[in-house]
């Protein structure tokens, strides 16, 4: 059974909240990676400090491999957080509803 976009977004937000510690000098970003080999979308929390190496914490993988589904999940995540969301390996693809390039 496939999880709903609302359930997927709630799980991502829950894991973001567990790992987000507002600390001066840290930069947080969400990375969404298009895994074309496994046909999934992977979410990571990227944490970067001025003095330490970057680390990425896996948040969730979406097994539903459609851009329509991903777009709904992204919209729900954007409504819950103000973190920057960056997309990797989406070159030349457009959002189905917004019709903008994914970047």
Does position 1 have pLDDT exceeding 80, yes or no? no
Contact at 8 Å (CB) between 49 and 26?
yes
Domain ranges within the chain, ordered by starting residue: 5-88
Give the model's pLDDT for residue 21: 86
HSE-up of residue 21 (Cα within 13 Å, Cβ side)? 6
Above 80 in pLDDT, residue 102?
Answer: yes
Query: Taking 90 as the threshold, does the pLDDT of residue 46 lie above it?
Result: yes
Q: Is the pLDDT of residue 88 over 70?
A: yes
Percent over 90 (pLDDT), the chain: 77
Single pTM value for the model: 0.91
């Amino acid at each position: 059974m496939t999880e709903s976009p609302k359930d997927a977004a709630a799980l991502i937000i829950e894991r973001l909240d567990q790992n987000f510690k507002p600390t001066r000098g840290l930069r947080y970003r969400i990375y969404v990676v298009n895994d074309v080999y496994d046909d999934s979308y992977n979410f990571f929390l990227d944490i970067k400090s001025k003095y330490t190496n970057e680390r990425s914490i896996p948040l969730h993988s979406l097994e539903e491999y459609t851009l329509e589904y991903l777009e709904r999940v992204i919209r729900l995540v954007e409504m819950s957080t103000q973190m920057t969301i960056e997309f990797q390996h989406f070159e030349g693809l457009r959002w189905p509803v917004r019709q903008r390039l994914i970047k």
